[in-house]
Chains A and B, each alone.
Chain A
Amino acid sequence: MNEIISLRKKGVDTIVQFADGCCFSPVVYTIQGLGEVMVAKESYLFYKLHGAGMVTKCIYYSDNKGEINYVATLNPLKIDCDSLLTFASANFEKFRNEKIYPFIYKHKSDGDSSLSWLQYSDASYFYIGIDTKKESERKGLDPFDVEREKLKGEIENLNYTYNSSTSIFKIYMMAQQLIKSIEEKFSYGNK
Chain B
Amino acid sequence: MLEPRKNNGIIVYNSISNLNPMTRIVFILVLCFSCLCGQAQFSRDTAYRQIKKLQSEGVDTIIRYGKIVPMYGWIEQSKQLGEIVVQEYTFVFYQTKGETYLMRFMTYSDSAGIMGRTAVSKPMKVDAELMLKWAADNITTIIKQPICSHIIKQKPDGVNTVYDIYYPSHTEGINIGVLVGKEQVGHDFTFEDCQYNYSDNGPENLNYSYNIQTSTYKLYLILQAITQSVQNELKY
List residues of A whose CB falls within 8 A of some B CB: 22, 24-25, 97-102, 104, 107, 109-110, 112-125, 140-142, 144-145, 151, 155, 158-159, 161-163, 165
Contact = CB atoms under 8 A, between A and B. Distances in A.
- Top 7 closest pairs, chain A to chain B, by CB: A116-B9, A24-B17, A162-B160, A104-B163, A121-B15, A114-B210, A107-B9
B161 A162 contact: yes
A23 to B, nearest CB: 8
14 contacts: A24-B16, A101-B162, A101-B163, A102-B20, A107-B11, A110-B144, A114-B148, A117-B9, A120-B15, A121-B1, A121-B14, A140-B20, A162-B156, A162-B160
Interface of B: 1-3, 8-23, 144-145, 148-149, 151, 156-157, 160-165, 206-207, 210-211, 213
Given A104-B163, A124-B18, A158-B163, A118 B206 contact: no
Q: Chain A contact residues: over half helix, strand or loop, or mixed?
A: loop
Contacts of B13: 118-121
A118 B26 CA distance: 13
Contacts, number: 114
Contact of B8 (A116, A155, A165): A116
B163 A25 contact: no
Contacts of A145: 20
Given A110-B144, A115-B206, A162-B157, A100 B10 contact: no
A158 B12 CA distance: 15
A124 B19 CA distance: 9
Contacts of A140: 20-21
Nearest to B211: A114
A162 B12 contact: no
